[in-house]
């Protein structure tokens, strides 16, 4: 093989066009916005791995891992588990999901500090957040949806309006600022979360396919 041919072969192998780019999404929205429903459809369509901190806590606590023991120590003392421990759980999930095409972060990050820590961890692993998909739903509709869900979910915080109001307010005070963090990075994409499930999903896929 001539040197020129070898060079062209090398270029084709390392060309950005042939490089696989992992799709990593933050699915965002208040309680009752429909994140669970749309998350399932996104995962099925794009082959992503669902990453929920609630699931991670249950796994590590249930299996008694070192991270689980560390988290339990804080919880037993009535403290919140530090972001550093949560990020370690997230990193462990990512590092052990070797065949994943990407991740959909559900309910995380909840604060700007967590978003910053997530970016640092992802960059260390040669990854980044592709974009945030935010489902926008008026508060009155959120309450209607949660109360309706409460008829079958069995969750007390889905059945009492006072608790629902508190959950929405916590979201507005603590979690909503995360949207501004990603907006500054040009990664924030708001979707109208009211309407037919398929119509909402089509809006989401239009955004994702544009990444």
Residue range 176-196, pLDDT digits in tens:
899 999 999 999 999 999 999
Q: With 50 as the cut, is the pLDDT of residue 11 above it?
A: no
Beta bridge partners of residue 24, listed in sequence order: 103
Q: With 50 as the cut, is the pLDDT of residue 145 above it?
A: yes
Helix, coil or strand: residue 153: helix
Q: What Rg do the C-alpha atoms of the chain give, in angstroms?
A: 20
> Which residues are marked as active site?
35, 110, 149, 155, 167
Average pLDDT of the chain is 87
Q: Rounded CA gap, 130 and 52, in Å? A: 17
pTM: 0.80
Q: What is the pLDDT of residue 9?
A: 39
Q: Rounded CA gap, 122 and 163, in Å? A: 34
Q: Which residue has the tokens 């089509």?
A: 202
Report domain 20-51+101-208's class.
alpha beta
């Amino acid at each position: 093989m001539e040197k020129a041919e070898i060079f062209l072969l090398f270029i084709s192998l390392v060309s950005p066009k042939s490089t696989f780019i992992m799709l990593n999404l933050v699915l965002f929205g208040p309680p009752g916005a429909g994140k669970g429903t749309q998350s399932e459809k996104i995962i099925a369509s794009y082959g992503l791995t669902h990453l929920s901190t609630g699931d991670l806590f249950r796994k590590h606590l249930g299996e008694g891992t070192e991270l689980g023991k560390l988290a339990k120590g804080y919880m037993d003392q009535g403290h919140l588990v530090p972001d550093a421990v949560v990020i370690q759980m997230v990193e462990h999930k990512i590092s052990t999901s070797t065949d994943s095409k990407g991740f959909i972060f559900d309910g995380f990050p909840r604060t700007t500090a967590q978003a910053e820590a997530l970016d640092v961890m992802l960059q260390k692993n040669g990854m980044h957040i592709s974009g945030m998909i935010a489902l926008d739903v008026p508060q009155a509709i959120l309450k209607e949806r949660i109360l309706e869900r409460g008829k079958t979910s069995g969750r007390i915080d889905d059945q009492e309006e006072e608790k629902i109001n508190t959950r929405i307010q916590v979201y507005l005070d603590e979690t909503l600022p995360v949207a501004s963090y990603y907006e500054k990075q040009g990664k924030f994409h708001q979707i109208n979360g009211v309407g037919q499930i398929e119509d909402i999903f089509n809006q989401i896929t239009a955004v994702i396919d544009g990444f």
